Amino acid sequence: MLDWEGLAHAVNQRMAELEIEHEDLAEKAEISESNLWKIRSGESDTEFRRPTLKRLAEALDLPSDTFNREYRKPVPRNSVLSDPSILAREVAKVIAPELARINERLERIETRLHLDLMHDSGDYVTPEINDSIHPREDPAQ
């Protein structure tokens, strides 16, 4: 994981110090101009490989490990990046209660459908079951 803002600031600052143009730096570092723009913008979601950042540091006359050492953050333990199953567990925790409510509603619907079928086929239906399927209107209304 890279500290994109820090890396962008360091690259842009060093380019200004050396008075090197974007195109020249891309060529010297052997990276595409578009990838250099991604680095310089500070907002990329691309995870550049260590050799790329090494070549970039060397092209800016810096020690080759500068960017990998200073701007590459370790992936936190127990994070989604180190273990994607963490995300699945967190999502499951959030949706489990709603899934349980949906399941309960589905079971009630299935019960009503089954009872409706029993009623329509002439099977024995108790008055209580019949009332649950077809509630009577209150005569007081």
Q: Has residue 18 got a pLDDT over 90?
A: yes
pLDDT for 89 equals 80
- Is residue 76's pLDDT more than 70? no
pTM for the predicted model, two decimal places: 0.52
Q: In this structure, which topology does domain 4-71 adopt according to CATH? A: 434 Repressor (Amino-terminal Domain) (1.10.260)
Whole-number Å distance between alpha carbons of 114 and 137:
23
pLDDT band at residue 138, thresholds of 50, 70 and 90? low
| Residue with tokens 């209150």, as numbered in its chain | 138
Distance of CA 139 to the CA centre of its chain: 57
Q: What is the pLDDT of residue 101?
A: 93
For 88, the token pair is: 């699945």
Alpha helix locations (H) across 74-84? none
pLDDT tens by residue, 23-56: 999 999 999 999 999 999 987 767 788 899 999 9
Q: What is the mean pLDDT of the chain?
A: 81
Kindly report, as residue ranges, where domains of CATH 1.10.260.40 are found in the chain.
4-71
pLDDT at 117: 66
The SS3 assignment for 82 reads coil
The mean pLDDT of 7-31, rounded to a whole number, is 95
